[in-house]
Chain A
Amino acid sequence: MYRYDAVDRLIVEERVAQFRDQTERYLAGLIDEDAFKPLRLQNGLYIQRYAPMLRVAIPYGVLSSTQLRALAEIARRYDRGYGHFTTRQNIQFNWVKVEEVPDILADLAKVSMHAIQTSGSCVRNVTTDVFAGVASDEIVDPRPYCEIMRQWSTLHPEFAHLPRKFKVAFNGAREDRAATAVHDLAFDLYKDEAGEVRLIVKVGGGQGRTPRLASIIKRDLHWSELLTYSEAVLRAYNRLGRRDNIFKARIKIQVEALGAEAFGALVDEEWAQLRGGPNTLTQEALDRVRVHFIDPPLEAWAEPATRTLPLDANFRAWKSRNVTAHQNADYAAITISLKREGIAPGDATAEEMDFIADLADRYSFGEARVSYHQNLVLPYVARADLPALYAELDARNLARANIKLASDIICCPGGDFCSLANAKSIPLSAAIADKLAPIEQDLGAIAINVSGCINACAHHHVGHIGVLGVEKAGEDWYQILLGGRPDAGGRLGVLLGKSVRQEDVPGLIDRLARHYLAVRQEGESFIAAVERTGVDPFRAALEAQEVAA
Chain B
Amino acid sequence: MSLILELDATGPRIAGEQAERPAPTPAKPANAGHGDVRKKIVPVVKPPAGPSATAWEGGVYLSMQQWRDGAEQGGAILLQPADDVRALADRLDSAALIAVDFHRIGDGRGYSHAFMLRERLNYRGRLRALGAVTADQLFALARVGFDSFALRADQSAETALAALNTFSVPYQGAPVAGANAAREEANFNARIRLLERALTAIAADATRPALASSLSAEDMVITDAIARLKLPIDVFTLDTGRLHAETLALIPEIKSRYGLDIDVHRPDENAVSAYISAHGADGFYEGLAQRKLCCTIRKVAPLNRALEGRSAWITGQRRDQAATRGALEEAERDEVRGMGKFNPLAAWSWGDVLAYAARFDVPMNALYARGYVSIGCEPCTKAVRPGEDPRNGRWWWENKDSKECGLHTNATVTR
Task: Point out residues on A near B: beta carbons under 8 Å.
Answer: 5-7, 9-11, 13-15, 18, 21-22, 25-36, 38-39, 47-52, 97-99, 121, 148, 151-152, 154-162, 227, 235, 238-239, 243-248, 273, 278-282, 284-285, 288, 419-420, 422
CA distance A246 to B41 in the complex (A): 10
CA distance A159 to B114 in the complex (A): 12
Which of the 9-residue segments B105-113, B208-216, B236-244, B249-257 touches chain A? Answer: B105-113
B292 at the interface (CB under 8 A from A): no
CB distance from B358 to the nearest CB of A (A): 18
Contact A10 B190 (CB under 8 A): yes
CA distance A21 to B107 in the complex (A): 23
Task: Point out which of B134, B136, B193 has the most chain A C-beta atoms below 10 A from its C-beta.
Answer: B136
Q: Which residues of A contact B162 (CB under 8 A)?
A: 21
Contact partner of A419 among B37, B105, B154, B197, CB < 8 A?
B37
Q: Which residues of B contact A148 (CB under 8 A)?
A: 176-177
With contacts A51-B33, A158-B144, A161-B106 taken as known, whether A285 is within 8 angstroms of B169 at the C-beta atoms is: no
Contact B171 A282 (CB under 8 A): no
Residues of chain B in range 94-120 having any CB-CB distance to chain A below 8 Å: 105-109, 111-112, 114-115, 120
Which residue of chain B is the closest to A246 with respect to CB atoms? B43
Listed by A's residue number, 26 A-B pairs whose Cβ atoms lie within 8 Å are A6-B194, A6-B347, A7-B169, A14-B167, A18-B166, A27-B29, A28-B26, A31-B134, A35-B105, A47-B33, A49-B34, A97-B31, A99-B29, A148-B176, A148-B177, A151-B176, A152-B172, A152-B177, A161-B105, A161-B108, A238-B108, A244-B45, A245-B44, A246-B43, A246-B45, A285-B183
B337 at the interface (CB under 8 A from A): no
CB distance from B353 to the nearest CB of A (A): 14
Contact partner of B27 among A9, A29, A154, A161, CB < 8 A?
A29
With contacts A30-B24, A238-B109 taken as known, whether A22 is within 8 angstroms of B136 at the C-beta atoms is: yes
CB distance from A168 to the nearest CB of B (A): 15
CA distance A114 to B252 in the complex (A): 45
Contact B24 A227 (CB under 8 A): no
Give the total of B residues in contact with A, Cβ under 8 Å. Answer: 66
Consensus secondary structure, chain B interface: loop
Contact partner of A285 among B47, B115, B177, CB < 8 A?
B177
Q: Which residues of A contact B109 (CB under 8 A)?
A: 238-239, 243
Q: Which residues of B contact A47 (CB under 8 A)?
A: 30, 33-34
CA distance A534 to B214 in the complex (A): 80
CA distance A15 to B139 in the complex (A): 12
B399 at the interface (CB under 8 A from A): no
With contacts A30-B156, A162-B108 taken as known, whether A11 is within 8 angstroms of B26 at the C-beta atoms is: no
With contacts A6-B190, A235-B112, A245-B44 taken as known, whether A49 is within 8 angstroms of B35 at the C-beta atoms is: yes
CA distance A34 to B139 in the complex (A): 19
CA distance A248 to B44 in the complex (A): 9
B173 at the interface (CB under 8 A from A): yes
Task: Point out which of B25, B27, B134, B188 has the most chain A C-beta atoms below 10 A from its C-beta.
Answer: B27
